[in-house]
Amino acid sequence: MGDTPAPVHATPIHVAFNIPTAERAPDAAVNHPTKSSTSPTEGAGRSHAGDVDTGFLQIYGPENQLEAEQQELVANLELRNPASDPRQQELQQSFSETYFEYCYPWCPVLDHDTLDSELARSPMLANALALAASHIQPPLIPHQGPAAYYDKARMMFYMDEEPDILTSLKAVSLFYWWAPRSPSTAHRHASWWWTSVIIRHAQQMNIHREPKQGSVASSALHLSLRRRLWWTVFARERLTSLCQSKPCIICPEDMTIQEVQPSDFPSDPTSQKKGRIFKYWVRLSGIMGKVSKALSKSVDSPTETATFPTELRQELVAWVQSLPSDLQLPIGSSRTEGFDRDVHQLHLPYLTTIIVMHLQRTTPDLPQALPPAILAASCIARILRDILSRGNARFLMAITCWYCGTAFIALLQASRIKQFSQEAEEGLDILDQAVGQLQQMWASANVIRQGFERLRALPRSMMHAGKGRSTAPNGSSDAPSNDFDWKLLFPFVTRSTSRIVDCLLADDEFGTTATALPSPENAVFHEDLLNRYHDLLEPFVDYNFDFSNINLDIL
């Protein structure tokens, strides 16, 4: 993927995974799979290979190996390979094209060179691919549809009809593009469930650890696949943890597997760029996992003025400023000329994280949005407007419902500000239109859409006075105040981006109000912010943005 520019910020980026200190082989040593590498991954699914052996099971190594070989033999002898629907076979080429076009940057677990033979050998993988592709881009000729493909692939998984465990996990990873129910209740169709299934299987197979030289898993094909599969589920688990307030499953201290390398992806420029997007998406998800843990701990904090870790904001700054030029969000002007679907999607979780970190958590209901959250929400609306204006939103993943719901909170409050009102209302319309498109794909969008309608219909008179965090008599907080220039989070915007950005970045209008703000979990932060932005936030004196009687049901 080549060298990327060093972050502008002094703080180095902290990636949520450990890189082994031992000398590594150069990237060129990892060869791309060839068509000869299509046999089942013999031995790759053995559960004790490479274990630290805390329970001394390696004493029984010969017996374990014999048992594993017998199980693999039986599984291959019992392999059922019924002829798939001829129509599905005819559509496999278009399904493959859809996958590599829309899914590959976020789930690079399939390879061009080996896919045809894998699909011919594995009905489960064929149905999983058909599920994802037909849901994103439905063929205009008769086909069974994603629900039928999902049911068949899911039953093949539960019935152990796929003897190759890595092929099975690759197939399950494609279930991410099917969510027939919202996560309002626990069920075995949710992305959290399937991600957990892959993680536990992968951990049992020691995919989270760098394999020893000479082992079955150290071959070029297996090593590349292990990296791409593991970091796919790692990223999903971290994103879902923050989105759905779930505890992280993966412990970074247990991992020794390396970050993906340029040689883990085909050498053509398009694939290399998609590989870079995947790498930076994984890095961002690692930061989001840390944010999730910090927020979870803050709920149990003995003091209301617990300080949010400033280093996480520094990590976000380092991440966005380390992006190579071709991955930077091109919204520096009012029109997007260099639109890139994958780059736009890459920034949606980044901006959502900024919103989450800059919502004042003063009540159990709708929180108060601070200027960084409002700016980030306006950028999300801009991204979605760029996508909608190009006529296709079916490639947006289910978690986009959460991105929209979070941005809505901030823009709804911005719509109460005179200077922002028109543009914020337009942004709310864009979010509403985007969720309308997502309703065609994801059950979670129904929950968000209903919340949008209810909240926008509420009269301002229903918004009651907010209750800030308690402070000491001298107006200070017990928590320390750490200066942070939040404008560093937005290197891709200029005053030409939008009116909201123009107002928030206009130092000549607001003096130095936007350059040194303490931590958003600090009471002083909010009081200082409201004082400095008094004219800008004056409408909140009348309408306030506590929304204490409002309940928004989000993911």
Domain ranges of the chain: 61-179+186-269, 301-543
The per-residue pLDDT for 29 is 39
pLDDT at 289 over 70: yes
The per-residue pLDDT for 102 is 98
The per-residue pLDDT for 32 is 45
Q: Rounded CA gap, 519 and 479, in Å?
A: 9
Asked whether 399 and 242 are in contact (CB, 8 A), the reply is no
pLDDT at 299 over 80: no
Average pLDDT (344-366) is 87
Nearest in space to 144 (alpha carbons), one of 162, 130, 129, 159: 130
| 403 vs 364, residue with greater confidence | 403
CA angle, corner 235, sides to 230 and 237, nearest 5?
A: 95
β strands within 364-446, DSSP E: 368-369
Count of Cβ atoms closer than 10 Å to residue 332 Cβ: 17
The per-residue pLDDT for 528 is 42
The per-residue pLDDT for 497 is 96
Q: What's the pLDDT band for 478 if we cut at 50, 70, 90?
A: very low
Whole-model pTM: value is: 0.79
Pairing status of strand 368-369 against strand 359-360: antiparallel
Q: Rounded CA gap, 19 and 15, in Å?
A: 9
Average pLDDT (363-385) is 89
Q: What's the pLDDT band for 59 if we cut at 50, 70, 90?
A: low
Asked whether 312 and 287 are in contact (CB, 8 A), the reply is yes
Q: What's the pLDDT band for 180 if we cut at 50, 70, 90?
A: confident
Average pLDDT (58-71) is 64
Average pLDDT (525-532) is 41
Count of Cβ atoms closer than 10 Å to residue 139 Cβ: 16
Nearest in space to 328 (alpha carbons), one of 310, 306, 346, 307: 346
The per-residue pLDDT for 44 is 56
